[in-house]
Structure 1
Amino acid sequence: MAALLLGKDVQGLLLGSKGTRKKPSGSFSGLGLSLPVIKGVMRKGYRLPTPIQRKCMPFILGGKDVVAMARTGSGKTAAYLLPMFDRLKTHSAKIGARALILSPTRELATQTIKFTKELGKFTDLRAALVVGGDSMEEQFASLHGNPDIIVATPGRLLHLLVEMELKLASVEYVVFDEADRLFEMGFSEQLREILFKLPESRQTMLFSATLPKQLVEFAKAGLHDPVLVRLDVESQLSQQLKMTFLAVRSEVKSAVLLHLLRSVMSSNEQTVVFAPTKHHVEYLRELISSAGIPVCYVYSSLDQTARKINIAKFHNRTAMVMVVTDVAARGIDIPTLDNVINYNFPDKPKLFVHRVGRVARAGRSGSAYSLVSPDELPSCLDLHLFTSKPLLPAEPDMDSEQLGVYGSVPQTILDEEEEFVRQLHTRNSDLPALLKVADNAQKQYLRSCSQPSPESVSRSKNLPVYLNPHPIFRRSPLCEGEGPTRDEFLKRIHGYRPAATILEVHSTTKTTSKTVMAGKRKMHDVLVAKEKRKKSLEKDDVIKRRGIVVAHGEVATEDDLKQFRRPVADAAGSVGKLKLKLRDDEHYIPHIPSDYHSEKGLSIVGGSFDKEAASLVLDLEGDEGEGAKKTQKEKMKWDRKRKRFVGQTGSEANSKKIKTESGRKISSSYKTHLYQQWRERHKIDSLTTGGEEGEGFQGGSEGGRGGRRGRGKWRGGGKGAGGKGATVGDLKTSEQILRKRKKKTFQASRRSQKQGNTRGRGRGRGKPRD
């Protein structure tokens, strides 16, 4: 009854007084979705599409291949499910799945199929879940139930495709969900093999938070003229994010980190610390734990069980600090995160935005602390050029809440914390060894980092050497004794530049080095003065060459020069025609809509996919030696049999391989003959793609019941059509119901016939049974 009322409400919403269909703009009904899909949307309580849905769904409904960049929680699942429901319409009697959704993890796949069943409640489409860790036989039975939609992880799906010798020729709709994580988790070989089995006429959607270079190449090969849709969130920072930049030396970073965790941050705030390599993660975890702070850690090569345990500790707030690498943090999503600390400053601005984007989400405020060493300062300047935000040097009267303040750490704090770190190293014998390994890993890490721009390098040299303490340390109890006299004294020490050279230290007038340097300085002082005089006249020479003279001998300013129209020189240096300026800057009022920047961020980028994706590529380097950049020689391994270097390891060369239809060789563990044993046990024929339901399923009922074993073969549905539990939770077709009724009638007649024969044989021997 509720469903009927819901249907009437939807019809009343979509139909006008004359029965004409109305499509309100800006709503799901305005996208032209079918009535069962709209009913599912209204049942979930959705009213308006999210930005990613509003941008993607028109292209998907139009049959285009789409590459969409969106964060977790942006509504991307419904963005590809609703068009899929609208395209598939209803359950097909033909054998073979028509939609395929690939997810990187079992948890995400389980979440996706649950959402699929909820959103597609008013459609009769069937869905099957194929993930690792579940029973293979149950998945055999679910695939024999002829699902329309398969939600799977790549590893288990490829295993079933090889084991069951299945074809994917009937697939019309393919979705790669969280595609960047699919490649980061090492599914590239499985994805390319699955891609080969898919038909050319399919429609493909690829959803990702970032665009690694490997993913762009995969999209070029697997998608046909894709449309790139993105939300411009990777280049924008939240307005609720407070950024703090601290100038520290590399040797004292660990001391500053402990001070932030113990004194600046509250004990009930959760913090994620980003480290460059897994060796830094192990050292910082041991150091923070020795300081009495509950901490957990995650990096890519950590055991999966240990990784789940550490993430659970952080989710349950048993550990308030988590130390991670960039690669490991890709699969971690903490909505209530309070702080992020960059132990090393990232070499790419997009990577910085990727790190700090985990805080200040969904209207919450958050803080990001970055420890910037002198060699990382150019990368910090690159970041502010990328985000178009200034880097403000700290001032004594500056507010601590102001964004983008770059200051130093007071010396009293450094002295206190360094002494504390030395005590921890003395108590814990593992810390010195871990620190040595981390230092060696830092050298390898620096080789794989990209270099900052030359402009940022030159700008970093012009910044002051001495910086005022950052305002966040103003309330620290260790800074109570510091006053302006001490700060001025330290500033003079940092700014002191002796005029004497190293050869003149502790020398008298009678020494030879003093005499030589005095003569050399006398000769060079003339040249230095001449060079300074030459540079001071360069500006005057430029003004004279332009023919501009100021009456009272004053140098003309730029405002004075704006009133003159200057000749334009071509490549050869000759002066051409004057360029007339038709716009009056003094009275011109530019018009920019109030929502211009937000609409620009949500706009569809035009042009070819190659050019669009080139500016969005973000590759995350590995957090250990195997994942970092290597030379070509380091990637090769020596093969003793071939007597030459090869591009694979010895274990890969010696492992058994089987050749697939695409010509690639995969591990022989994909073919275990479990499916053949399952079919023989349940007397079921193999699954044939393209046939009709009820055809090709030959065998008795479950366990051979319902007839003589080995005789009286019948074709039908029920449990015999798909094995045990093949149609659990699915509606049976009319043919299956008819066969089941015939089977019950036949069994009833056989029982009555047996009972009649028993009574006939018992006559004359005694009273017959009732």
Structure 2
Amino acid sequence: MKPKGKKKDDKSFGFDDEQPDGFVSDAEEPDTRRLVAEQNRKKKKSGGFQSMGFSNSVFKGITKRGYKVPTPIQRKCIPVILEGKDVVAMARTGSGKTACFLLPMLERLQVASAQAGARALILSPTRELALQTLRFTKELGRFSNLRAAAVLGGDSMEGQFSALHEKPDIIIATPGRFVHVCVEMELRLDSIEYVVFDEADRLFEMGFAEQLREILARLPDTRQTLLFSATLPGLLVEFARAGLTDPVLVRLDVESKLSEQLRLAYLRCREDERSLVLLHLLQHVVPAGQQTVVFAATKHHVEYIRLLLEKAGISATFLYSDLDPAARKINTDKFRHKRVDVLVVTDVAARGIDIPHLDNVINYNFPAKPKLFVHRVGRVARAGRQGTAYSILIHNEMPYLLDLYLFLGSKLTFTPNTSLDENVDWHGYVGTVPQELVDVDSEQMQLWHSSSSDLRSALQSSRNAFKQYLRSRPAASLASVKRLKEESSRSLGVHPLLRTAGATAADDTRAQLLDAVRSYKSSRTIFEIGVTTHQNGAKVMKQKRNKDEHVIERAAAKRKADELEEEGDGDETAEEKPAEPERVALAASSEQDISDTFSRVVQERKFDHRQRDRNKRRKMVQTGKDEENYIPYQAKDHHTEAGYSVTSAFERDANEAVLDLTMDDDTRHKLKSQTKRWDPKKKKYVGQSNDGKNKKIRTESGVWIPATFQKAGKYDEWKRKTQVDAREEDEEDAAPARRGGRGVKVIRHRKNESGPALGAGGPHSKRPEMRSKDQILKQRDQLERRRKRSTVGVGKNRGGKSRGGGGGRGGGAPRRGGSKGGGRGRGKGRR
């Protein structure tokens, strides 16, 4: 059969006219694909997807998905990935990293391979991100004959066993459940040739290091490995050195960690006014019809906000990790299809989730780490769209805001306590909330809480949860705390976003008076309140004030001098405070490590050395020190690296470390080893083991993983329940029987991969391998069933072939339509 298409196209793609039927051998196929890619690149010089050499099916999926022009990260990454190189890619969130690894994967897997089983593996940190990747894979590969399966936590393992038995081409999984399935099914991943770590930094931060090591140990060495992330901390450099072969580093959009289309507003209020500010933003600031995601600290806050918005008549849904997987999918789809306007979530949706046409993000609780803030607000202003992020802060969250701007390397603008122009750009301002806006809904809020017991209960639960959250929240940097104390002396003005139109100086004065009343702090101590001057407490405090009066005056004079000095410095001092831009942060900290790890580094533009020299000379004149030879007590990118790491294993281990000085002699050590603890599951005291591996198991690859992943026999139970092996053999046996015709005894054979056709379980059949006891028993049962079927209703008549069999010898009545041809059946039927 000749291939479809015109003859001249076959010549242009390198087909030989002398070859019969346009046949191309497997050895020539890669050359043909290379010629196709070169032909496409030759025709198209626009830099679009056409010039990347994709096949027709993949390019058709790109067109149907709506992609027209590749993003910068796609333009840099896809050609390198198509060359078969290992890649570590870092780009800003929302820049199109998912299509960077899906399109080359679809293009590569279309080539026929002799290996059977899955050929691509994509690991995601969360269930929602994995489902989103699965949806994109189906959309982009709708014209490719490839199948994808998801192995996710929260789903039934039986369904995942069935999906993997269908031998999908692509597996999209979360590390924990995938390791569990691999151990249960004893999977060998030798056929995997394409591995992707999506949001790679988050995979390590969530504690999947042991699972990732087990997965890597099962993968072949000839695989192509890709790491994609919005941030690139130093931990991934070490992982790239250990798990990747001659990798290429692609770093784009690293100077601006936030999108230029994103507008930021920071609103400071009291803790009890946080809900009132949220209602005001949703009802009066956010335009009608726009979708908003509200981020809260805990699931109890999510439940409280959901009930509160329901009382206010605002359509909302919610999402957090403890929610049932089916409910999480339903609520996400409800918001995605615009059936509700507000989605209240925890940080489970802060990374990687792509919600089309999202307009606003509100931080009900400000995140403790700058990196988490970047991922939260990265849900908006994606793919060139504009978006707004509102953050509601209380006083103890202000140091984290200063940490954020140290991480971003930009300047934070405090709203002055004076009248501002109405047309001022409020982007990046931090200011207060006018008291009159809060008082509007205050009475209604109290009425809702008094009439609803569910709302009161949810409020109390959120307050208790917030206390626990504060214990686990990492502390802000000392530099930010110190700077906040300096800034607290200044009076913060009303945020320009919340200023009412036509505000006058009288309104500003009123707002200042209300702010002063709220922040009033008495100078008298508890010993002086409600007592006379002749009592002992008042006398002691008077003597104390007289003694320390000169210290108080000196501190006040120093504070005033510092304020005058800051006002005199102007903008020059403000320019020196921001940290170094992240463009050189990672390279400056580990230039040698990066050069040793990555074979090539792809960057967006070259560094201007002349501008650097000019800045260095100007800074040397201002500060009076040589920055090149000056060694600071901490690295230049200290704030950047601190913002990248959500959890620090060293800090956690150091805090938990205990120096035990009672173990110096053998007697105390023996007593320590004999100490027992109460096991609630066994209901008895058990011995304590100091071995760190007592709760871990060692796999065939030599990796220690938690004992919870130990094989529990679920896969064997599923095979016995579904009889999957018997069904597969019956399907193989039934196929030649259907081809043999009616009433004809067919000798069924099954071809073996290693030799000629072998009998399907006959008494004289031979198998190339040893059979187990279960296989022998199953074969005997099949033979017995076949013998019974052959002896029931099979007989011959004198006038023709029998259908359905005649009556038995013992006088049994003939079956319906028993004889064909008029004869009397003489089959050997059962009595």
**In which range does the TM-score fall when normalised by the shorter chain?**
0.5 to 0.7
Aligned partners of 1:557 and 1:295: how far apart in 2?
A: 46
Give yes or no for contact 1:240–1:363 (8 Å, CA) kept in 2: yes
Deviations 1:97-116 (A, max 9, x none): 54444565355325315523
Give the drift of 1:346. 1.2
SS of the equivalent of 2:190 reads coil
1:483 aligns with 2:507: yes
User: Which amino acid in the other structure matches residue 702 of structure 1?
Assistant: A
Aligned partners of 1:584 and 1:192: how far apart in 2?
A: 45
Q: 1:668 aligns with which of 704, 709, 713?
A: 713
Aligned partners of 2:90 and 2:295: how far apart in 1?
A: 23
Aligned partners of 2:726 and 2:615: how far apart in 1?
A: 88
Aligned partners of 1:448 and 1:454: how far apart in 2?
A: 18
Using structure 2 for the length normalisation, give the TM-score: 0.61
Aligned partners of 1:440 and 1:211: how far apart in 2?
A: 35
Give yes or no for contact 2:233–2:645 (8 Å, CA) kept in 1: yes
Q: 2:457 aligns with which of 422, 429, 433?
A: 433
> Do the aligned partners of residues 60 and 644 (structure 1) sit closer, same or farther apart at CA in structure 2, a change above 3 Å counting?
farther
Q: 1:471 aligns with which of 496, 503, 511?
A: 496
Give yes or no for contact 1:162–1:671 (8 Å, CA) kept in 2: no
1:254 aligns with 2:290: no
Q: 2:300 aligns with which of 279, 287, 299?
A: 279
> Do the aligned partners of residues 704 and 206 (structure 1) sit closer, same or farther apart at CA in structure 2, a change above 3 Å counting?
farther
> Do the aligned partners of residues 195 and 701 (structure 1) sit closer, same or farther apart at CA in structure 2, a change above 3 Å counting?
farther
Aligned partners of 1:287 and 1:535: how far apart in 2?
A: 44
SS of the equivalent of 1:361 reads coil
SS of the equivalent of 2:278 reads helix
Give yes or no for contact 1:68–1:229 (8 Å, CA) kept in 2: yes
Aligned partners of 1:213 and 1:586: how far apart in 2?
A: 27
Aligned partners of 2:283 and 2:718: how far apart in 1?
A: 58
Which residue in the other structure is 1:598 paired with? none
Which residue in the other structure is 2:376 paired with? 355
Question: What's the RMSD between the two structures over aligned residues?
Answer: 5.7
Which residue in the other structure is 1:396 paired with? 419
Which residue in the other structure is 1:546 paired with? none
1:680 aligns with 2:704: no
Aligned partners of 2:571 and 2:330: how far apart in 1?
A: 64
> Do the aligned partners of residues 156 and 671 (structure 1) sit closer, same or farther apart at CA in structure 2, a change above 3 Å counting?
farther
Aligned partners of 1:265 and 1:285: how far apart in 2?
A: 18
1:115 aligns with 2:140: yes
Aligned partners of 2:401 and 2:569: how far apart in 1?
A: 36
Deviations 1:122-152 (A, max 9, x none): xxx8656466779679757743xxx7x4344
| Aligned pairs (5 A) from 1:200-219 | 200-209=221-230
> Do the aligned partners of residues 151 and 612 (structure 1) sit closer, same or farther apart at CA in structure 2, a change above 3 Å counting?
farther
Using structure 1 for the length normalisation, give the TM-score: 0.66
Aligned partners of 1:586 and 1:659: how far apart in 2?
A: 56
Give the drift of 1:429. 1.2
Which residue in the other structure is 2:751 paired with? 715
SS of the equivalent of 2:390 reads strand
| Aligned pairs (5 A) from 1:78-227 | 78-81=99-102, 83-84=104-105, 90-95=111-116, 97-102=118-123, 105-106=130-131, 108-116=133-141, 118=143, 127=147, 129=149, 139=163, 142-143=166-167, 149-153=169-173, 167-177=188-198, 192-209=213-230, 222-224=243-245, 226-227=247-248
Deviations 1:567-613 (A, max 9, x none): xxxxxxxxxxxxxxxx99799999xxxxxxxxxxxxxxxxxxxx999
> Do the aligned partners of residues 117 and 481 (structure 1) sit closer, same or farther apart at CA in structure 2, a change above 3 Å counting?
same
Give the drift of 1:39. 8.1
SS of the equivalent of 1:700 reads helix
Deviations 1:506-553 (A, max 9, x none): 666666666665555444445666788999999xxxxxxxxxxxxxxx
> Do the aligned partners of residues 182 and 350 (structure 1) sit closer, same or farther apart at CA in structure 2, a change above 3 Å counting?
closer
SS of the equivalent of 1:412 reads helix
Which residue in the other structure is 1:643 paired with? 686
Give the drift of 1:710. 8.6
Aligned partners of 1:398 and 1:10: how far apart in 2?
A: 67
Which residue in the other structure is 2:359 paired with? 338
Q: 1:372 aligns with which of 393, 417, 435?
A: 393
SS of the equivalent of 1:643 reads strand
SS of the equivalent of 2:723 reads helix
Percent identity of the aligned residues? 43
User: Which amino acid in the other structure matches residue 170 of structure 2?
Assistant: I
Give the drift of 1:440. 1.4
Aligned partners of 2:285 and 2:569: how far apart in 1?
A: 51
SS of the equivalent of 1:196 reads helix
> Do the aligned partners of residues 219 and 521 (structure 1) sit closer, same or farther apart at CA in structure 2, a change above 3 Å counting?
same
> Do the aligned partners of residues 525 and 330 (structure 1) sit closer, same or farther apart at CA in structure 2, a change above 3 Å counting?
closer
Q: 1:263 aligns with which of 284, 292, 296?
A: 284
Deviations 1:433-481 (A, max 9, x none): 222221111111111112112121111112245432223333389x999
Q: 1:312 aligns with which of 333, 336, 339?
A: 333
Aligned partners of 2:329 and 2:749: how far apart in 1?
A: 50
Give the drift of 1:659. 7.0
1:453 aligns with 2:453: no
> Do the aligned partners of residues 471 and 672 (structure 1) sit closer, same or farther apart at CA in structure 2, a change above 3 Å counting?
same
User: Which amino acid in the other structure matches residue 423 of structure 1?
Assistant: L
> Do the aligned partners of residues 183 and 300 (structure 1) sit closer, same or farther apart at CA in structure 2, a change above 3 Å counting?
farther
Structure with more relative contact order (C-alpha pairs < 8 Å, separation 6 or more): 1
Give the drift of 1:308. 2.2
> Do the aligned partners of residues 48 and 114 (structure 1) sit closer, same or farther apart at CA in structure 2, a change above 3 Å counting?
closer
**Of 372-381 and 40-49, the range deviating more from structure 2:** 40-49
> Do the aligned partners of residues 397 and 79 (structure 1) sit closer, same or farther apart at CA in structure 2, a change above 3 Å counting?
closer
Aligned residues, how many?
631
Deviations 1:629-669 (A, max 9, x none): 99799xx9766466156899xxx999xx9976657623321
Aligned partners of 1:475 and 1:67: how far apart in 2?
A: 49
**Of 374-383 and 91-100, the range deviating more from structure 2:** 91-100
Give the drift of 1:266. 3.2
User: Which amino acid in the other structure matches residue 683 of structure 1?
Assistant: E
Aligned partners of 2:95 and 2:292: how far apart in 1?
A: 24
SS of the equivalent of 1:327 reads helix
Give yes or no for contact 1:242–1:401 (8 Å, CA) kept in 2: no
